[in-house]
Chain A
Amino acid sequence: MAATVHSVARKIWQSLSAIKTGVILLIIVVIISAAGTVILQRPVTEGDEMQRAYSPQMLRLLDGLGLTDVFHAWWFVLLLTMVSLSIIAASVQRFPNAWRFFSRPYKSPNETFRNALPGHVLVPIKDKDEEAALTVAERVLQKAGFKPERIVRENSFSLFGERNRISEMAVYIVHASLLLIFLGGIVDALYGWRGYVTLTRGQQSSQVQPQNGSTRNLPFAIRCDGAGQENYADGTPKRWWSDLAVLENGQVTLRKQIVVNDPLVYRGVRFYQAGYGRTGKVDKVILDATPKLGGAAREIALGLDETLPLDADTTVRLAEFIPDYVVRDGQVYTRSNDLENPAAHLVVESKRSGQAVNFWLPPIPGFEQDASSPYAFEAKDAQMAYFTGLEVSHEPGQWSVWAGVIVMGLGLAVVFYFVHVRVWAVPVRDARGKLLLWIGGSANKNKDVFEQRFRRLIEQIESELKVSSEADAEAPTASIAG
């Protein structure tokens, strides 16, 4: 029984690690994601739009198959998990071999290897002068950046040089980076959330509305100290901004002005500038108040329902503000939230008499300005209240994603542009006992480029060997002295 369990596990492992499985899984992912871009998707598309686009039966079928929210369906997540597992399995299975290759480089080639290596040459050298020949080869390799080392065994010595050994590991680096990205995605899918909060100036909130209609409480509050929009000369929006303050236990701990591409981040929660608009309510109305009994006009600013003393006895209150009013059947109605045709309703009160007088600005027929008001008012300006819409998100896995992206960039650079090249030089004797220098080279990719390079190296070694042997022949004493 144990044996069958074992063999089943091994079967699963083997089929997971097969390239074929990986490719089939990826093809399925491609097909399903492509389908997900063609079929309208649920959370983005409104329900009634879905109903307009598809017939009821079709919609029921698509919903039943989960094709209307492909990218959040459990089976799509399962599929991506399978892909990750396949990458892990394939890498794990191939890794030990590559690691052996990487950690214990093959430095002194034996005869079988020497004969089998496709890229090798035999250079004749002077008898009993292996040392000089190896020195020449060492110098040439050093110049070419191979960092050659002498390998000394009991009965032989040889030369080994290499470059970019890391290239053997590159594929694993890239696969590991992909897993880091997936890990981040999974963490965010499990522990991340998104929500929305709307604030007007001075308002604060510690509650966020996620898309599913619930509320989420934050351990701190966010306050809007101001928000605005700047336009280009042609009227298109140039910039939206919000001045935000973070409050913890009533204390402001962070202040930042956010704009569209620059969020505020606090304790892993990020606030984005996402919306901006009129609330239809007034923020401040600027008025000139002139005493009817004589005296200088005074500029006052009133918020909605705000009461302001005008003198020791009289106060004024902004009872109503209509940004775009229309009068119909003796009633004042609001036509829109735009500041088109504003009307303000003031109440002037006297403390002593307890008498309240209504005052409409501008004068509206049927709502005549009360002549008994001790002050005359003139509207100067009205500042509307704006709300700022903040997208709130918490993505604890994003750091894993960015780390993965950086590692992948480096890994791909190594994969494509770092070639592991190795060169060996071994003094050998041929069948007739003549001394030769066996030089072999190999590259793990771009073999054609390496071939040319290797040929140049050999030419260089050959010519230097010739030069040194000629120098030896002509001036042996100088050589010894040198």
Chain B
Amino acid sequence: MERARVEQQPAATGTTLVVMVGLGVAFLLFMAFLNVVKSGNLLNESNLLYAALIFYSGAGALYLAFGVTGTPSYVRFASLATWAGLLANTGAVVHRWYEAGHPPFASIYEMLLSFVWTLAVLTLIAEKKYGVKVIGTVTMPVAIVGVVLMQLLRTEVHPLVPALQSTWLHVHVTLAMLAYAACALSFALAMMFLIQDKMKTETFLAATSLFSIATYVSILTRFEKWGGLSVVGWDPEEKAEIFVAKGVRLYVVIPDLGWLMLLVLAAVAAPFLLYLFWRKNPDRNTLEIANRAVFLSILLQSLTLIFFVLRARDGRYGSLDAEGLFPTSLAASPFILSGLVGGIFVSLLYLLLLWRRSDLERMLPSADELDRITYRTIAIAFPLLTLMIAAGAYWANRTWGSYWSWDPKETWAAITWLVYAGYLHMRVTRGWRGRRAAYFAILGFAVVMFTFFGVTYLLPGLHAYA
């Protein structure tokens, strides 16, 4: 009786999930159809990007569906969808390059475009060359977040400001995108390793909760009086952030969002607290409750996401920095947006791990092999990171007369480099293999993401272009 219950429950939730994902894809397709009808032009950049989004979402959904139902053919279709997405993505890159007359590296939008492209290429390489068939389960959601952010951050083709007219910029950013995509892949592989290594789901639960807690705590640093949340103001006409002074952004307060975020924080912290409680008194029931709490936190996070999207899209809000009401936009707060999506994503990942373990394992190389491939990806990422920093320093030296000025982006790039250097040293001198190495690879990618997004939107800096 007990066993039957355990087996049935996930299957039922699994179907719900598949249906939800399917509805999502159908909605996207419908929107795409409307878009084509409206513009009357099939092959423009926005449609190509939209196609890429649909295919990547399809691939991600199929990978997830495989995770839930264990139907092997889903993986094959997912791979096909990834190919199709890559094709559309390539089209968008070429289109942008042609239209702008320079490689797409000048703004955060263009860099995301290149990043997602590289990530898709690496995913397919990992799949074909190393046989990590379900790697897309992790990389595709990252790609989807990337494309969604791109839709929000869409910028007109701007001519390059003088400081950016340098071959070294292209070298620097190309290397950065390659390195970051390699880091993303090593992260995905480390996750796959943890699945294959039969990591205890409880430990994974603790890790994902901690990640979500850290994300929401950093979002809540902008909590304001009476439960509002400060977000960056956005000028819809200029398509740019509003500045009160040079380098100082204007913040507007969205009412109630702060309370909602606080609630979400409580919801994602609950599984962690339950885990801690379980550590003290091992009792399966506690974990059952924790699993339910994860499910609840996904619902709450989704609600918050919808609330945030609706409130940020229209309406004008007061500001603590200036008189009057100002609009904002999703594009002004990519950190909050990616934080919410990332939080939902890791919780889903946990549920995935909980539901179907043996099927996933069959689709993966052995744990040892995964460990080695992770190392090999980092062996590619680390030299690229090194050269990326060097090219950036050389460019800065030609432009500002100083190769290193400790600005936040530079400092965080150095920190990223140090984290991966630590990984390599621990592996070589201390023989760190397997789980500890995997944790290190995951930490490395978290730092990469912070360098890429967090520094730009959270820290005061001079690296104004990205």
Contact = CB atoms under 8 A, between A and B. Distances in A.
B418 A37 contact: no
Given A238-B159, A398-B403, A40 B460 contact: yes
Interface in B400-454: 400-404, 406-408, 411-412, 414-415, 418-419, 421-422, 425-426, 429-430
Contacts of A234: 159
B159 A398 contact: no
B198 interface: no
B419 A272 contact: no
Interface in A174-199: 185, 194
Contacts of A270: 401
A416 B379 contact: yes
Interface in A239-295: 239-240, 259-263, 270, 272-274
Contact of A236 (B158, B387, B403): B158
Contacts of B411: 33-34, 36-37, 71
Interface residues on B, range: 35 or more
B324 interface: no
A349 interface: no
Contacts of B390: 405, 408-409
Interface string A26-40: 100110011011101
B403 A409 contact: no
B386 A194 contact: no
B390 to A, nearest CB: 4
A23 interface: yes
Q: Taking each of B168, B401, B411, B422, which has the highest tally of chain A beta carbons within 10 Å of its own beta carbon?
A: B401
B383 interface: yes
Contact of B401 (A40, A70, A194, A416): A194
Nearest to B395: A261
A232 B163 CA distance: 14
A391 interface: yes
A408 B386 contact: yes
B346 to A, nearest CB: 23
Contacts of B407: 44
Interface string B305-337: 000000000000000000000000000000000
A417 B402 CA distance: 32
Interface in B136-181: 158-159, 161-163, 165-166, 168
B128 to A, nearest CB: 18
Given A23-B425, A36-B411, A236 B404 contact: no
B355 interface: no
Given A37-B459, A236-B161, A412 B400 contact: no
Interface string B48-83: 000000000000000000000000000000000000
A19 B401 CA distance: 36
A405 B275 CA distance: 47
Contacts of A41: 406
A127 interface: no
Nearest to A185: B404
B372 interface: yes
Nearest to A409: B387
Contacts of A398: 397, 403
Interface in B368-406: 372, 379-380, 382-383, 386-387, 390, 393-395, 397-404, 406
23 contacts: A33-B411, A37-B455, A37-B459, A41-B406, A49-B248, A236-B161, A237-B162, A238-B159, A239-B165, A240-B162, A259-B162, A260-B399, A261-B162, A261-B165, A274-B400, A391-B400, A391-B401, A395-B403, A398-B397, A405-B393, A408-B386, A412-B382, A412-B386
Going nearest first, the 6 A-B pairs with the smallest beta carbon separation are: A393-B401, A37-B408, A260-B162, A71-B406, A416-B379, A405-B390
